[in-house]
Structure 1
């Protein structure tokens, strides 16, 4: 397979889409939303071909599965992105030097963005919309699990681009084969940044093998600390929502840390989880507190590997801690720096937690399920960055731009 043509065409496309005016970009995104809804039946048929190849017990099954409702949500996200302000050309800095040189710093596209992702066909639309709105070209590398779904979605994208006379190389889907991933990671001189979305295994592989800068996203080992002063009613709702709203996403709760003085409240705190059939892996103290109240078939003694695990299913670890400092130590050891939360009515504890926890999103008395580009008002997201350089947290339009300096003079020399 000659992957070089994909890379050459992508680089060439950066020079053409930069000339698209903002009105045309927004019209294309709105037309894509309409076309997506119009081709719902076709997309679902292709998605079913992928679903038929996957075990329904696989944690990735939920991520892979599309429905008419989810397609409506994808179309709504496209409309939201079309209505957001355009970041390109925004003036970040402006000054005049003593020698008369006029300096300005403005937002510009990054260039060619490679996105490698697993079993989530909605990423195809989200990534295209955000990259297209910011003048970036995108090279998409989906997994073989979602091959038919991604092919269907890129077909719809290309139909709309062609209708507006825009190069389809603005969004290219690489073949599903693994060799395409290796080629993309080596495409120096063509691709400016790689963004992996998926398991920790995928992210680690990309980081270790890429010759191109990588922005790490996705893997979430998420904790919620139930403090000594925590409100039980709030805690029940927050923990249940964070764990069960959608178990296959990266902001789903993996471990509850409970202050030892509140162990007697643990059965009541976990009542909603029991109703949802959540399997609990409990340390010695929390196991003793739950043993007579939680279903035996759903309660197990925790092993060391249960702490620091991203479950992506109806499973949850629980750890007893002496105080907030013990909780902070545990989070520092096991967190993936994605999303962490405290439930507490003590403002000093809240302030300490918010200040001390090193993560992209840190919550007080709210569910970690809110770590999402749409919920943060970004319209959609290309991923949730768990690193610190360039971008952190949900990556929307601004995070897909770089900047350049413009210098205007009148004959000055140095």
Structure 2
């Protein structure tokens, strides 16, 4: 029981009602104890302003090897299903000087010039995917997540990192398992083994077949100056950059399309020029962050929040989905999707402070090209089953749908 006599709130491993759970956790206070799968108890922070404060607070670390005694002392089981989320050592989990050391070579890979140069290629990928969709029977339901929202960012990231075709399907399956927070200990261990085996084989391949891509850039940093990146950090940063750059954009596209089809009056605002695709993207990021919860951070020292104290060494889970719908910032209508909302850009779905996502400009560029091209090509796009709720992914971390069933033309669907 925590300091207010409450049992920890047990998080649903399947993430079947993320926003409903957040509402119930928020009722316990701005920070409350929750139990993650595997019986691990952490602090869940749901107050938007407190989240922003903690993300800038040097008393909060993401390095489990330095600041989580339960991890260091072996109190967390070695087969904990979520262990890979804290065992990785990359720019996101690094603290202090280690973060600065790792961020420099990684940031060099995401310059504005490099991202801007990708625009024509992203457009070609989008056009090719839309051509393939156009060849589908217009009235037959299809999974837009699988046929458009997923392959677009996946192809972009694979080209950016020089990932050959023979690795792509395997990585896709591994990444899906990586985000499935309801996986058993055995499934998580097998998936983690497959992930590192694949990445190790991929690095061998790239060292033997160098090219002009981000993987080879990071390999060069590692091989020319081992003080900048260890071999594990090289592998873990590649895992981070690929998974974060791919999965978040898939979910962003998925939710944006779903929301616009659920709220056609919002789509009409774009078509009338009263709002634009950037407004859609920012409101989607606020309303449905691609990552609902971020695990984990750790208190470097006691953190007094007034009503409770997060003790030194305790683990903290940041809820980006809670921040996006915090009524104190977004008002009583925070649960409503509204692309004209004055606070639509006041989200932290790409992080905040030193750990702000380096790939955010790329994700926004991909989303802008994808959404504008999709609705221009298929102006009559509609949900295939508007009477049904789209099933969420089996994850409380990754926030998306299992599928997004649509018809390309509602008229054709009724012929």
Normalising by structure 1, report the TM-score: 0.25
Choose between structure 1 and 2: higher helix proportion: 2
Higher relative contact order (CA 8 A, sep 6+): 2
Choose between structure 1 and 2: higher strand proportion: 1
Normalising by structure 2, report the TM-score: 0.25
Larger C-alpha radius of gyration, 1 or 2? 1
